[in-house]
Amino acid sequence: MDDIICTIPWHCGERDCPVGWHLSNYWTSADGYTVDSYSDGDHEECEESDVPTFEECDAAWRRYARDVVATGVDPLAQYNVDHSRKVQRLWQVRCHASVGRVLLTGARVSGRGPWLMPHEIPAEVQSYFLATETPNPMCRPMDIATLDELRAYAAEDDNVVRIQRTHFALEFKCLVRIEQQAPVGGIPNKLRKAARKHLWQMNKQT
């Protein structure tokens, strides 16, 4: 059976590397030892003497944690910090009837401000209205054939706040609450805090 002996972070030092830091996994098996230097499944044979000691692993993880504290960036995704959260956002959505299909033609937050073009509408909103992506930036066809079907679809959903009247027979508008992922602020400081806690735990264990 193959087993990972240790995992160690290392910095390549190359200026054109978009990450800088990498993870090496050292493996043992019946055939000997291997190292996967970039955690990409590409193993190379190595000697037992090449496997980092506990002290070397500890020092490497300390260097990585100090780098996260200094930069507020966690390129190896080692610290469990939420980068987004779920929010309920109110959207005003506009649709038009076409031949055999209803088209999503615009949306805007809370019914205010400029209308977003269909290709600019967040994926959660498009998915809610069963819209599919097409090369045409002016509309998104929905998996709904008629405005009557769309009205019935909207009327049955508790998230639809209001179906709005329009001046055009082939147009449909409504206000709907849609759950979305919103970015969380202060990520660098949260990462620094997590890395400091990691360093404190390592100091406590030695």
Regarding whether 148 and 110 lie in a shared domain, the answer is yes
Which burial class, exposed, middle or buried, applies to 137 when counting CB atoms under 10 A from its CB (0-12, 13-18, 19+)?
exposed
* Distant-in-sequence, close-in-space partners of 122: CB < 8 Å, separation ≥ 6: 180
pLDDT reported for residue 184: 83
pLDDT given for residue 82 in this prediction: 83
Residue pointed to by tokens 């779920």: 86
Q: How many domains does the chain have?
A: 2
**Could you report the per-residue pLDDT of 79-99, keeping only the tens digit for each?**
998 888 888 999 999 999 998
Count CB atoms within 10 A of the CB of residue 83: 11
Q: Do 179 and 89 fall within a single domain?
A: yes
Compute the CA torsion angle 139, 144, 148, 150 (nearest 10 deg).
Answer: -70
Whether the pLDDT of residue 203 is over 80: the answer is: yes
* Residues 19 and 55 placed together within one structural domain of the fold: yes
pTM for the predicted model, two decimal places: 0.62
Question: Per-residue pLDDT for 1 more than 60?
Answer: no
* CA-based torsion, 122, 128, 132, 137: positive or negative: negative
Q: What is the largest CA-CA distance in the chain?
A: 79
Domain shared by 90 and 56, yes or no? no
Tokens 């929010």 locate to 87
| Residues 77 and 89 reside in one and the same domain | no
> Could you tell me if 105 and 170 lie in one domain?
yes
Q: Domain check: are 72 and 106 in the same one?
A: no
Neighbours of 147 (CB within 10 A): 16
Phi, psi (deg, nearest 5) at residue 27: -120, 155
Predicted pLDDT at 30: 87
Residue-level pLDDT at 85: 85
112, 197: one domain: no
In terms of residue numbers, what domain contains 159? 84-183
- Percentage above 70 pLDDT, the chain: 100
Average pLDDT on 9-31 reads: 92
Q: Is the pLDDT of residue 187 over 60?
A: yes
